[in-house]
Structure 1
Amino acid sequence: MTRTTVKYVPVTVLDIDEALEFYRDALGLEVVQDVSNAGFRWVSLAVPGQGLSLVLSAPGAGRSEEDAAALERLVAKGAMGGLILEVGDLQATFETLSAAGAEVLQEPMDQPWGPRDAAFRDPSGNMVRINQA
């Protein structure tokens, strides 16, 4: 059987430049590609040391106007599925994101199901949980 890996995780954001400040500048992900096409932009961010990339795109990228409007409303109210990331130093990451102005949903705490984690919203409203490695 062929080995299956996850390569790209799409993240719909309302403003790619704001999202870059969160994912690239505050979380330290690396920009792999920044592509513009037909008036839209996709930015792939690599998770250092993994073959995985988050792909940031706007609600209208590759979608009908009707679907883009519906998706924009869902993103804006934080209704899209969130991300779960893992870091080596949760407290330092929490402090970096807090200082950068990220909306804190939950301060670092030990969870009954296992990890110590914290939760934020990215600038578009997507929930991002961060686990301590």
Structure 2
Amino acid sequence: MNFVSIRIITDDIDRLVEFYEQVTGMTAERPAPVFAEFVMPTCTLAIGHSKTAQLFGADSVVAGNNRTVIMEFRVNDVDAEYVRLKPLVGDWVQEPTTMPWGNRSMLFRDPDGNLVNLFQPVTEDAVKRFEGR
């Protein structure tokens, strides 16, 4: 089994796609006006309009209602990303902090309230854990 993607359902796809284009520095692929993808080497971040949730069954997904998942992106320099993203992000949860497990991490919420973690392994053990990933 391979983990392929995570999908965010939103009522405002253009706003969320623009936000993640700025965060990732990538241009989203838009195979349909109601769907976008950020295809990365390790996983894909997909964004679908709430209209697409109807395809999964009534009330199976509610846009902007997630408080249990953290999307994590490994970066080269958390502190530099913090400076770059500070004007863009409206809801900071945690400024750059070194965590007990050896990652330097910062957390913020996207415009729909989804939690995003940008991190970099900084201790020897943390760097070793991420070798080959």
What's the TM-score bracket when you normalise by the shorter of the two chains? Answer: 0.7 to 0.9
1:118 to 1:51, Cα distance in 2 relative to 1, 3 A: closer
**Is 1:83 matched with 2:71?**
yes
Q: By how many angstroms is 1:12 displaced?
A: 2.1
RMSD: 2.3
2:86 partner SS: helix
Sequence identity, in percent?
A: 23
1:44 corresponding residue in structure 2: 37
**Structure 1 unaligned blocks of 5 or more:** none
TM-score when normalising by structure 1? 0.75
TM-score when normalising by structure 2? 0.75
1:26 to 1:102, Cα distance in 2 relative to 1, 3 A: farther
2:89–2:110 Cα contact (<8 Å) kept: no
- Taking the TM superposition and a 5 Å limit, the aligned residue runs for 1:20-59 are 20-36=17-33, 41-47=34-40, 50=41, 52-59=43-50
User: What amino acid maps onto 2:85 in structure 1?
Assistant: L
Alignment partners' CA distance in 1, 2:70 and 2:13 = 17
**Is 1:101 matched with 2:92?**
no
Q: Which runs of 4+ in 1 moved over 6 A?
A: none
2:51 partner SS: coil
1:23-69, CA deviations, whole angstroms, 9 ceiling, x for partnerless residues? 11232133233313xxxx0101122xx0521110123313278516x
1:14 to 1:81, Cα distance in 2 relative to 1, 3 A: farther
**Is 1:61 matched with 2:52?**
yes
Tell me the number of residue pairs that the alignment of Structure 1 and Structure 2 aligns: 120
1:46 to 1:102, Cα distance in 2 relative to 1, 3 A: farther
User: What amino acid maps onto 1:55 in structure 2?
Assistant: A
Alignment partners' CA distance in 1, 2:106 and 2:58 = 35
1:59 to 1:80, Cα distance in 2 relative to 1, 3 A: farther
**Structure 2 unaligned blocks of 5 or more:** 122-133
